[in-house]
Amino acid sequence: SPAGSEYDVVVIGGGPGGYVAAIKAAQLGLKTACVEGRGALGGTCLNVGCIPSKSLLHNSHLYHVAHDEFKTRGIEVTGLKVNLQQMMKQKEKSVSGLTRGVEFLLKKNKADYIKGWGQITKSNEVVVSGLDGAKSTLKTKNIIIATGSEPSPFPGVDVDEKVIVTSTGALSLEKIPETMIVIGGGVIGLELGSVWSRLGAKTTVVEYADAVGAGMDADMAKLFQKTLQKQGMNFKLGTKVISAKKNSAGKVDVVVEPAKGGARETLTVDVCLLSIGRRPFTQNLGLDAVGVKVDGKGRVITDAEFKTNVASIRAIGDVIAGPMLAHKSEEEGIAAAEYIKTGHGHVNYNAIPSVIYTHPEVAWVGLNEAEAKAAGIDYKIGTFPFAANSRAKTIDDADGSIKVITDKKTDKIIGAHIIGPGAGEMIAEAVLAIEYGASSEDIARTCHAHPTLSEAFKEACMATYDKAIHF
């Protein structure tokens, strides 16, 4: 039993931030424990986030292609249908395989996995209420808070995870709804809305803002919305939700109103997904008891070394400021462990990619055009549509475009925005360019294989300072 022995580091939370911090700390020779209360490692991301959503996105996309495109591609099938139970089984297989993989990695690196809910009782002490009912006290030199986030609630919308669901319920619906309303046209709404729309649900996204995509480049947001509309998704932008309640027939009455004011209307659907953002999770963590400060949004306040106002306690991931992304949490987890061991760490917040895993995918890094303008940067833009890319045409998957933003004086790439097949992989090239301070000419003069989708990125770079060849 770990009780009684003193740790160098106790990480609270076993998500991508926490488990990565624990592995790194152990690799650096620190005696480390990772406390996780949900009964499985991997956090939101592996259990009810990134991984199950990507499994459903992929398989619903395959169905959509088979249903809508096989015939024109010269493949004829009869009797095509969705077996939702089997699709869910596939999803669960990907989740359980990966969570067990993380458990193995902790063991391999000799970090203790402690199953239970951790509470900070002193600046150097964590009490764990074990899932087996036993309590244990961990003494430790350092604590890393990595407790993540949870869906933001909305007053008037009564979530039951059956007909009024958050992302968690939307990943496990028992049958395909005929009609669905998504509240919030951000990342979760568009990904999970796509899943159920592809499987046959008539889906409407209600969004308060005048654009989808929660702050993505305005040109790209418009193009993205158009693409999703073409696939059958409906949008009500500039619309606010007043309430969503289950009615006596077991359906959901969603009351909406134009954001600028006007007549209310009630939309009745089978399932309503609430996806208006996530908030930090620090319940029963004991922050008050030890005096760890949080900001107005409940996020743990940290300095550049991830230290809270209590010197022995650090925090990383969704529970602190910054984008709520798994890879951001991981970067911070590694840096926090390195700061503890060596006093040095590194996270470049200018080079954190965002990806929306719809089809086509949407990906971006760095500044969007409005941000470049607001920062007073003299910038140039290069664009290139996938309709002019030979590979995209070959595979008949040519919706989308690339927009590269450079600093006019230095030609350095300061932002890249991609909608298109494989955008989530392609963005890595732009991230690397920004990390290494590449100019768009550096990329345009780098040989890219033909015929590949990545040639489109090269040509968009070329178009910032010269003319593209194929458009």
* Total chain residues near ligand NAI (CB under 6 A): 26
The interface with ligand NAI within residues 173-192 (CB under 6 A) comprises: 183-189, 191
From 29-37, 93-101, 203-211, 427-435, give the range in contact with ligand NAI by CB under 6 A.
203-211
Is 165 one of the binding residues for ligand FAD (CB under 6 A)?
Answer: no
Query: Kind and range of the H or E element at 10?
Result: strand 6-12
From 13-21, 23-31, 76-84, 202-210, give the range in contact with ligand FAD by CB under 6 A.
13-21
CA distance 86 to 279: 32
Q: Which single residue brings its beta carbon nearest to ligand NAI? A: 186
DSSP-assigned letters across all residues of 127-156: EEEETTS-EEEEEEEEEEE---EEEPP-TT
Strands 32-36 and 112-122: parallel
Is 406 one of the binding residues for ligand FAD (CB under 6 A)?
Answer: no
- 357 versus 364: smaller Cβ distance to ligand FAD: 357
Look up residue 352 and give its two tokens: 């954190």
User: Is 166 marked within a binding site?
Assistant: no
CA distance 365 to 378: 18
The interface with ligand FAD within residues 23-82 (CB under 6 A) comprises: 35-38, 43-45, 49-50, 53
Contact 347, 302 (CB under 8 A): no
User: What phi and psi values does residue 360 have, to the nearest 5 degrees?
Assistant: -65, 160
Q: Residue 320 CB: number of other CB atoms within 10 A?
A: 24
Residue 16 binding result from ligand NAI, ligand FAD, none, given CB thresholds of 5 to 8 Å by partner type: ligand FAD
| String of contacts with ligand NAI for each residue 251-290, x by CB under 6 A | ------------------------xxxx------------
For residue 39, the one-letter residue type is G
User: Which residue is catalytic, options 58, 64, 448, 450?
Assistant: 450
CA distance 403 to 391: 18
CB 406 to ligand FAD: min, Å: 26
What is the sign of the dihedral through the CA atoms of 158, 164, 165 and 166?
Answer: negative
Is 344 tagged catalytic? no
Residue 209 binding result from ligand NAI, ligand FAD, none, given CB thresholds of 5 to 8 Å by partner type: ligand NAI
CA distance 227 to 266: 27
From 2-10, 349-357, 383-391, 431-439, give the range in contact with ligand NAI by CB under 6 A.
349-357
Residue 420 binding result from ligand NAI, ligand FAD, none, given CB thresholds of 5 to 8 Å by partner type: none
Query: Kind and range of the H or E element at 99?
Result: helix 84-108
User: Is 232 marked within a binding site?
Assistant: no
Cα-based torsion angle of the residue sequence 15, 16, 18, 23 in order, rounded to the nearest 10 degrees? 130
User: Is 175 marked within a binding site?
Assistant: no
Q: Which residues contact 292 (CB under 8 A, 6 or more apart)?
A: 120, 145, 300, 308, 309, 310, 313, 315
Residue 43 binding result from ligand FAD, ligand NAI, none, given CB thresholds of 5 to 8 Å by partner type: ligand FAD
User: Is 186 marked within a binding site?
Assistant: yes
- Binding residues (CB under 6 A) for ligand NAI: these are 154, 183-189, 191, 206-209, 214, 240-241, 275-278, 323-325, 355-357
State the residues that interact with ligand FAD by CB under 6 A.
12-18, 35-38, 43-45, 49-50, 53, 117-118, 146-149, 167, 188, 281, 285, 317-318, 324-327, 329, 357
Active site residues: 450
Cite the annotated binding site for FAD by residue number: 54, 118, 147-149, 318, 324-327
